[in-house]
Amino acid sequence: MRITIVGCGSIGSKLAMAADEMEEVKSIYLIDSREGLAAELASKLNKAVEVEDVEEELYHCDLVVEAASQEAARTIIPKVVARGVDIMVMSVGALVDDAFRESVASKAKSCESRIFIPSGAVCGTDGLRSSSVGELEDVELITTKGPKSLTGVDYMIEKGIDVNSLSEPTVVFSGTAREAVSLFPRNINVAATVSLLGMGFDKTKVTIVVDPASKSNSHELRIKGEFGEMTCHTYNVPSPDNPKTSYLAAMSAISALKRIVRNEWIGI
CB of 134 to ligand NAD, least distance (A): 25
Torsion of CA 211, 193, 122, 85, to 10 degrees: -130
Q: Is 45 exposed, middle or buried (0-12, 13-18, 19+ CB in 10 A)?
A: middle
Helices (H) and strands (E) counted in the chain, each on its own, are 10, 13
SS3 call for 35: coil
CB of 172 to ligand NAD, least distance (A): 18
C-alpha 134: how far from chain center:
25
Q: Closest CB to ligand NAD among 131 and 217?
A: 217
Q: Closest CB to ligand NAD among 207 and 242?
A: 242
Q: Closest CB to ligand NAD among 143 and 189?
A: 189
Which residues of this chain interact with ligand NAD, rule CB under 6 A? Answer: 6-12, 31-34, 37, 67-70, 72, 90-92, 120-121, 186, 189-190, 193, 242, 245, 249
Q: Cα(first)–Cα(last) distance of the chain, in Å?
A: 22
- Cα angle 20, 66, 151; round to 5: 110
CB of 195 to ligand NAD, least distance (A): 12
Q: Closest CB to ligand NAD among 193 and 204?
A: 193
Does 233 qualify as catalytic in the annotation?
no
Q: Helices marked H in the chain — which ranges? A: 10-21, 37-43, 70-82, 98-111, 125-131, 147-150, 154-158, 177-183, 189-197, 247-262
CB of 154 to ligand NAD, least distance (A): 15
Q: Closest CB to ligand NAD among 12 and 124?
A: 12
Q: Is 43 exposed, middle or buried (0-12, 13-18, 19+ CB in 10 A)?
A: exposed
* 11: CB partners within 8 A, 6+ apart: 67, 90, 239, 245, 249, 250, 253
Q: Closest CB to ligand NAD among 113 and 193?
A: 193
SS3 call for 207: strand
Task: Please tell me which residue in 14, 145, 219, 244 is annotated as part of the active site.
Answer: 219
CB of 162 to ligand NAD, least distance (A): 23
CB of 192 to ligand NAD, least distance (A): 8
Q: Which single residue brings its beta carbon nearest to ligand NAD? A: 9
> Pairing mode, if any, of strands 27-31 and 48-50?
parallel
* 126: CB partners within 8 A, 6+ apart: 119, 267, 268
Q: Looking at the annotation, which residues are catalytic?
A: 219
